[in-house]
Chain A
């Protein structure tokens, strides 16, 4: 008999939106929790309105690949909080839940009447997590935090960049999933504590602080030595070569563009450098005084990279990586989405998810990054259409009758 999932029976009242919060509750859905997103049709989740869309044009709030990626396995109900009846539905949902989570700016839940004191009155052992940009306290608590701006705010940008260039970004709103993953861990630890003691609690998080926790090497250079680390491209002080190297472009155009391709190559020590030199047909370079030791390779890194590029630039990335890995060299394709979608390793491990979605059909989505031997996790359903589970949750879980439900709908309390 199949084992229950780790969080089977745990219900999450999910007030989150955009990316950080939904990323957090996605992990909980992966672990088997019943995640119920509270949405509103008057202001759908930002990600429902963003591309990518099938056929390239907006065709309604259920069609975004962005939303459909990060809300797999969840339910959706819609409430219109202009109506007191909607508040009553939310109160009943909280009473029936184990966890309440939100990533609104500080104070928003309080203004909606769902601050922790009120929520605890409804459900004394509730775990409540607030995952705001700046945290609940401090002089900037009310500041507005948008995903892209959280990367420079965190300090990562000032550490990231080509040598001699201004600070760069991470290329995506990295602080969001980082905070979401830390938030999922926070929920799990609080649930564990509750399981042992019967005690719920409030957990307060700042996306900014979660991000600083993953760049400790940077802040420690400053706190130990009063120095700002220098931006240095893809290079590493303790390994060389350490970088991305140009290969052949995709042979066909993508969306009318020529798309370039690269691979990463790293040699952690002199022996690995020797393996690389032989693999690129230049065995004599292994013992060459310009490259023999780490110190020598660091001193001649421009030249070193030029030699490697002359080998990679005429090659297909996948076969170059295969060749280097066979020789025992750490190499990887700088995967774009097209490559990733067919990556042999991810494919062989059944990482990708293909579910039938009522609006977009079967699309390839990214799956669960872990495997569990006794309680195998799986994505149980595609992302919900907006309000897809309103009837099911209100009648099945919260005890509303069909007549009451129809009455609420007539009043537009469930929009």
Chain B
């Protein structure tokens, strides 16, 4: 069966997470993606792990291998006139060009939508940048943490009121990049739907800062509605909604509604302490959290994570394990759903990777090929497809263009 996007051709000029994730999401649904990396070192994610055996190797980065499944890989220095010329030839035949060059780098390369639209007026160009292509921060530096903090989300996480000396805490990984990527894919698909109707391409720009600011739950609105700010130091209004230690790991005790707590008390065998007035409703339990955490903690410590999780879920209480990576890879539920997939890449070997975020009935998510090695498809793309002969390829390679 063909994927939903199997008629699409995408050119990606991406590093690290945002643009590569956007085009991976589309590649895994059938689109052809030609990924452009800089000659020599390639995508920065090749230098970041995890690596098998902890040994850095540009063809063995788990992050790179995950983000670039189903893509063809070429090397090209688009900052050279010859390199830009080849980029123009690639996008001439493409539906979508996705990149995450920062604006100063775009200026240096001379990359604009107008320039590429001359070659291909039906082209959709998607620019995913930290701050957007306009505004006073346009040319500012950013790494993933910079956007996570400036988007307003990092301020929410941390050790709580007892430890104001500990900083606002970042969430693991490259979350600004992933969100820039998935929102970038949504906006790109929007432009594609418009093109089906109007026949025209266009320029889509995605700001990672705005993406993060658009997902702040109710916390942003506390300021315009109530002149309050939510930070990591705020006390919880409701309890128990906490991570607690069980006999063999951590479990998240989550009783947001009073009826959930009532049923958890049943699971615990109706202990005497739970009848105390100070624990009578969710707000009182928050006010009495210092006492509650001692009683509840004593109970939780005697239970296994899975034992308590299943006992609670049997009574429809939304407890959840604080999953370790091992828990995920070994989860009976995820195994039954076939979530993790094995992918073999010749240099890195065979490993299990996270699988489909969506299961389509008719147009399946599929791994057709592993991530490319650096410049793996130079001959296929520049030679067979664009018609450059061996001598010309050798010359460009010597000049460092490919």
Contact indicator B337/A158 (Cβ below 8 Å): no
Closest B residue to A50 by beta carbon equals B218
Nearest-Cβ distance from residue A150 to partner chain B, whole angstroms = 7
* Contact segment of A217-225, A285-293, A400-408: A217-225
Assembled-state Cα–Cα distance A139/B314 (Å): 12
Can you offer 10 A-B residue contacts whose CB atoms are under 8 A?
A65-B221, A157-B250, A178-B182, A186-B358, A189-B4, A217-B63, A222-B329, A244-B170, A351-B207, A372-B190
- Per-residue interface assignment for chain B, residues 303 to 338, with 1 indicating a CB less than 8 Å from any chain A CB and 0 otherwise: 000000000010011111111111111001110110
* Contact segment of A34-42, A84-92, A228-236, A296-304: A228-236
Assembled-state Cα–Cα distance A78/B189 (Å): 31
Given A192-B5, A336-B230, A372-B191, A217 and B173 contact (CB-CB distance below 8 Å): yes
* Contact segment of B32-40, B360-368, B376-384, B394-402: B360-368
Closest A residue to B201 by beta carbon equals A374
Contact indicator A206/B337 (Cβ below 8 Å): yes
A351-397 at interface with B (beta carbon < 8 Å) = 351, 360, 363-375, 377
Given A65-B224, A145-B318, A203-B359, A216 and B354 contact (CB-CB distance below 8 Å): yes
Closest B residue to A195 by beta carbon equals B196
- Chain B residues with Cβ below 8 Å from A139 are 332-333, 336
Contact indicator B241/A148 (Cβ below 8 Å): yes
Assembled-state Cα–Cα distance A169/B201 (Å): 41
Contact indicator B354/A224 (Cβ below 8 Å): no
- Chain B residues with Cβ below 8 Å from A7 are 190, 193
Contact indicator A3/B194 (Cβ below 8 Å): yes
Nearest-Cβ distance from residue B125 to partner chain A, whole angstroms = 9
Nearest-Cβ distance from residue A316 to partner chain B, whole angstroms = 16
Kindly identify which residue among A50, A153, A346 contacts B320, using a CB–CB cutoff of 8 Å.
Answer: A153
Contact indicator B149/A369 (Cβ below 8 Å): no
- Chain A residues with Cβ below 8 Å from B332 are 139
- Per-residue interface assignment for chain B, residues 233 to 274, with 1 indicating a CB less than 8 Å from any chain A CB and 0 otherwise: 100000001010100001010101000000000000000000
A2-38 at interface with B (beta carbon < 8 Å) = 3-7, 19, 23, 27, 31
Contact indicator A245/B167 (Cβ below 8 Å): yes
Contact indicator B254/A149 (Cβ below 8 Å): yes
How many of chain A's residues have a CB under 8 angstroms from any CB in B?
A: 157
Question: Which of the listed residues A153, A183, A208 has the most CB atoms from chain B within 10 Å of its own CB?
Answer: A153
Assembled-state Cα–Cα distance A182/B287 (Å): 37
Question: Which of the listed residues B7, B136, B172, B227 has the most CB atoms from chain A within 10 Å of its own CB?
Answer: B172
Assembled-state Cα–Cα distance A50/B23 (Å): 37
Contact indicator B220/A340 (Cβ below 8 Å): yes
Nearest-Cβ distance from residue B203 to partner chain A, whole angstroms = 4
Assembled-state Cα–Cα distance A56/B152 (Å): 22
Kindly identify which residue among B175, B221, B241, B333 contacts A140, using a CB–CB cutoff of 8 Å.
Answer: B333
Contact indicator B227/A255 (Cβ below 8 Å): yes
Given A221-B325, A369-B210, A168 and B157 contact (CB-CB distance below 8 Å): yes
Kindly identify which residue among A6, A51, A152, A254 contacts B323, using a CB–CB cutoff of 8 Å.
Answer: A152
Nearest-Cβ distance from residue B317 to partner chain A, whole angstroms = 7
Contact indicator B142/A332 (Cβ below 8 Å): yes
Assembled-state Cα–Cα distance A360/B226 (Å): 12
Kindly identify which residue among B51, B136, B210 contacts A224, using a CB–CB cutoff of 8 Å.
Answer: B51
Question: Would you call B91 an interface residue if the criterion is a C-beta within 8 Å of the partner chain's C-beta atoms?
Answer: no
- Chain B residues with Cβ below 8 Å from A331 are 141, 146
Q: A222-B328, A229-B325 are in contact. List 13 more A-B contacts (CB 8 A).
A: A50-B218, A65-B225, A138-B337, A174-B171, A186-B357, A217-B66, A233-B167, A237-B48, A266-B145, A266-B146, A368-B214, A369-B207, A370-B206
Contact indicator B226/A182 (Cβ below 8 Å): no
Question: Would you call A170 an interface residue if the criterion is a C-beta within 8 Å of the partner chain's C-beta atoms?
Answer: yes
- Chain A residues with Cβ below 8 Å from B209 are 345-346
Contact indicator A152/B252 (Cβ below 8 Å): yes
Closest B residue to A362 by beta carbon equals B224
* Contact segment of B82-90, B158-166, B278-286, B288-296: B158-166
- Chain A residues with Cβ below 8 Å from B147 are 332
Given A239-B143, A360-B225, A181 and B210 contact (CB-CB distance below 8 Å): no
Question: Would you call A144 an interface residue if the criterion is a C-beta within 8 Å of the partner chain's C-beta atoms?
Answer: yes
- Chain B residues with Cβ below 8 Å from A409 are none
Contact indicator A233/B222 (Cβ below 8 Å): no
- Chain B residues with Cβ below 8 Å from A102 are none
Nearest-Cβ distance from residue A48 to partner chain B, whole angstroms = 11
Contact indicator A155/B324 (Cβ below 8 Å): yes
Assembled-state Cα–Cα distance A98/B169 (Å): 42
Assembled-state Cα–Cα distance A325/B135 (Å): 14
Nearest-Cβ distance from residue B136 to partner chain A, whole angstroms = 5
Contact indicator B357/A262 (Cβ below 8 Å): no
Contact indicator A158/B358 (Cβ below 8 Å): no
Given A52-B225, A266-B146, A369 and B219 contact (CB-CB distance below 8 Å): no
Question: Would you call B109 an interface residue if the criterion is a C-beta within 8 Å of the partner chain's C-beta atoms?
Answer: no
Nearest-Cβ distance from residue A313 to partner chain B, whole angstroms = 12
Contact indicator B54/A192 (Cβ below 8 Å): no
Contact indicator A259/B229 (Cβ below 8 Å): yes
Contact indicator B146/A264 (Cβ below 8 Å): yes
Assembled-state Cα–Cα distance A150/B169 (Å): 18
Given A52-B218, A345-B136, A220 and B351 contact (CB-CB distance below 8 Å): yes
Contact indicator B333/A366 (Cβ below 8 Å): no
Question: Would you call B215 an interface residue if the criterion is a C-beta within 8 Å of the partner chain's C-beta atoms?
Answer: yes
B182-213 at interface with A (beta carbon < 8 Å) = 182-187, 189-194, 196-198, 200-207, 209-211, 213
Contact indicator A201/B225 (Cβ below 8 Å): no
Closest A residue to B104 by beta carbon equals A328
- Chain A residues with Cβ below 8 Å from B351 are 220, 223-224
Given A69-B221, A153-B320, A209-B357, A171 and B203 contact (CB-CB distance below 8 Å): no
Contact indicator B191/A6 (Cβ below 8 Å): yes
Given A66-B217, A216-B66, A218-B172, A336 and B231 contact (CB-CB distance below 8 Å): yes
- Chain A residues with Cβ below 8 Å from B185 are 185
Given A171-B157, A177-B215, A237-B49, A54 and B193 contact (CB-CB distance below 8 Å): no
